[in-house]
A and B are shown apart, each in its own frame.
Chain A
Amino acid sequence: MILTSTARREFGLINPKFQANPILGLSDRMTVKIDFDETDFKSAKYWAELTLEKFTLGGYVMLKSSKKCRHAVFDRYVSWEENLSIIAWVAVLSKSVPLLRYLAMQCIKMSSALRVSPKGDKPSPRIVYRFGCQDHAVKDFLEFRQLIKQIYRSL
């Protein structure tokens, strides 16, 4: 279990040498990662499944990052251009402003990133739903996420 920053501060687990903990995330260009902000589980699942069918992405894993935020990570590796096209398709069709903002940020940074560590009072994202094949990008994503969690825990 990873404690939130507030809890870590309360228990005296944050090293006083460090002023504030920057957020740790996972970033790459070949995995399709969608950040559904201000979306409930039902809608996030609907859009994830629609994307899965349309682009034949194999499978996906859904993570809950906070009360109304979900992350979806898809299993098929794609090129950066296709990755952007998929996120843009979902953003435009779902008319989701936070997702359009997320897409814009990914374009600026030239890679798509998702949070792994806790952020303020929000805990680290946890898996809530899996569907379809999980052997390729999802597997690598979860392995790398575990590595980042280990780094965070070791402090």
Chain B
Amino acid sequence: MPKTKRKSKTISPKTRWAIKAFVNQGYSANKIQKKLQKQGLGIQRKKLLSEVRKIKGKKPKANRQKYTPKKYRRRVTPKPRRPFYSGKHIAVYQYAKTWRHPKPYSARFEFYGNGKYLAKAYIRVLRGIVPRFEDPFVECSARDFLNDPYKYGEKGVWIDKPEISS
């Protein structure tokens, strides 16, 4: 099987110059592609079309979703992102104890941030970080907590509600 030359990801200045010249001469995209291939400057059709559009000064096609088959529409649709601070916090609370303070006390972390950081912060908390006895209610960004967990808490264990006997 003959070896095919691998196409580069970016358009070389030479190819760009050639495309510009062909567009100015009024050639169609098909003709430009054939001419480039003959000269050994072939590029992906998608890239060629976007380059031609750029040279002609045309705006990108509107309603991109409308002209995409339904099964590919999810790829084209931009995913709405949750704002970094939506005002909602995730509260992680339970009783905790540390070696400094063996008597159980009510402790609580309140994290804000996006899902990825919130999940990571929760896992970090589960691995034995509890708020200090002196400051049992901590409110912070999940990303800041992940950067330096010992700034907001210390090593300890989460325990179930202690039974109070009188």
Contacts and interface: CB of A to CB of B under 8 A. Distances in A.
Contacts of A30: 87
A147 B118 contact: yes
Contacts of A144: 86, 88
A132 interface: no
Interface stretch (B27-35, B65-73, B153-161): B153-161
B88 A109 contact: no
B122 to A, nearest CB: 6
Nearest to A143: B82
Interface residues on B, range: 20 to 34
Interface stretch (B10-18, B49-57, B91-99): B91-99
Interface in B2-53: none
A28 B125 CA distance: 20
A24 B122 contact: yes
B127 A27 contact: no
Interface in B99-128: 108, 110, 115, 118-119, 122-123, 125-128
Contact of A19 (B115, B118, B158): B158
Nearest to B114: A147
A150 interface: yes
B108 A28 contact: no
Contacts of A15: 126
B88 A140 contact: yes
Interface in A111-145: 111, 113, 120, 140, 144
B126 A22 contact: yes
A120 B91 contact: no
A155 B123 contact: yes
Nearest to B161: A120
A12 B88 CA distance: 32
B14 to A, nearest CB: 50
Given A27-B110, A120-B160, A151-B118, A22 B90 contact: no
B89 A26 contact: yes
A26 B86 CA distance: 12
Nearest to A120: B160
Given A18-B126, A120-B160, A151-B119, A23 B94 contact: yes
B91 A25 contact: yes
A120 B125 CA distance: 18
Given A20-B158, A151-B122, A27 B115 contact: no
B137 interface: yes
Given A19-B157, A26-B91, A147 B108 contact: no
11 contacts: A19-B128, A19-B159, A20-B94, A21-B158, A24-B90, A25-B91, A25-B92, A29-B87, A111-B89, A120-B160, A140-B86
Interface of A: 15, 17-30, 109, 111, 113, 120, 140, 144, 147-148, 150-151, 154-155
Interface of B: 82, 86-94, 108, 110, 115, 118-119, 122-123, 125-128, 137, 157-161
Among all A-B residue pairs, the 5 with the closest Cβ atoms? A22-B94, A25-B91, A27-B91, A27-B89, A18-B126
